[in-house]
Amino acid sequence: MKITDLHIHSNWSSDSNLPMQVAVDTAIGGHISCMAFTDHLDIGYPTSSSPFLNIPSYLYQISALQKDANITILKGIEVGITKSNRKETQSILEYFSFDYIIASCHGNDEVEFFSKKARELYGDNLLKVYFNHILFIVLSLSSFHSLAHIDYILRYHPLSLEEFLDYESDIDKILQVLIQRNKALEINTKDMTSEKCKSMYSFLLTRYRKLGGKWVVFGSDAHQAKDIGKSYQDAKGILNQAGFSSFAIPTQHGWVLSSESSL
């Protein structure tokens, strides 16, 4: 079995202290055959203290690690998109050569979705605003491979799965855009110890497959070494139950299944 983890942060992100070499060694120790560094680029994000100051050095450091390691390391990035940063973010994505781009919904131009302020501002409309923003991201960002952590809002607000699934038609619209554009859906295991998270991904993957989706990627969203590959078996179980055989990996020629890849 080939294990992948395509969502790992390092000390290039302002919210992680993990040295890249330690992350690579940990991934190899966990029998991971393909990993991606996906450090944050959230232009204009209010609490982002050091948004990615030096992309050439970041990419150079990954290249240097690739030379020595017995593992495939993708040059990835996680971009948080708002209406006002989309164009600038897009031009950065086109200028540099990334192997893997994760599109994320962390906030809009008004508020960060994890904050209490988001609930105060939007009240009962919080989920509507959240899903509308995700739809905007997947429709308007030209370059990306996968949509990250659709469960993000559930981590920070007292919302039930039932409330989340009341927006089934909004979720369908997002999944349909991903499918039409040949983008992958990420199963993000940061919060996978919660039953709510497991049930949500179970629903989401089943729905994605029913609508014609083919590509699911695994991402631990690790910010510390101990979380690399976290809950992989749980995620694999949910994946298989939804009818998918294995996780996907992006290549220069399109998506491949990790079970069929030489990576």
Contact between residue 247 and residue 218 where contact means Cβ atoms under 8 Å apart: yes
Contact between residue 80 and residue 42 where contact means Cβ atoms under 8 Å apart: yes
Smallest gap, in angstroms, from Cβ of residue 8 to Zn ion?
8
Nearer to Zn ion, 99 or 261 (CB): 99
Smallest gap, in angstroms, from Cβ of residue 9 to Zn ion?
6
Nearer to Zn ion, 78 or 99 (CB): 78
Smallest gap, in angstroms, from Cβ of residue 104 to Zn ion?
4
Smallest gap, in angstroms, from Cβ of residue 236 to Zn ion?
20
DSSP the chain: --EEEEEE--TTSTT----HHHHHHHHHHTTEEEEEEEEEE-TT-TT-SS--S-HHHHHHHHHHHHHH-SSEEEEEEEEE--TTTHHHHHHHHHHS--SEEEEE-SB-SS-BTTSHHHHHHHGGGHHHHHHHHHHHHHHH-SS-SEE--TTHHHHHS---HHHHHTTHHHHHHHHHHHHHTT-EEEEE-TTTTSHHHHHHHHHHHHHHHHTT---EEEE--BSSGGGTTTTHHHHHHHHHHTT--S-EEEETTEEEEGGG---
Smallest gap, in angstroms, from Cβ of residue 149 to Zn ion?
6
Nearer to Zn ion, 99 or 221 (CB): 221
Smallest gap, in angstroms, from Cβ of residue 103 to Zn ion?
10
Residues facing residue 185 across a β-bridge: 147, 216
**Cα end-to-end span (Å), the chain:** 12
Nearer to Zn ion, 138 or 261 (CB): 138
Contact between residue 247 and residue 257 where contact means Cβ atoms under 8 Å apart: yes
Interface residues toward Zn ion, by CB under 5 A: 78, 104, 221
Nearer to Zn ion, 104 or 189 (CB): 104
Nearer to Zn ion, 150 or 248 (CB): 150
Nearer to Zn ion, 147 or 248 (CB): 147
Smallest gap, in angstroms, from Cβ of residue 230 to Zn ion?
12
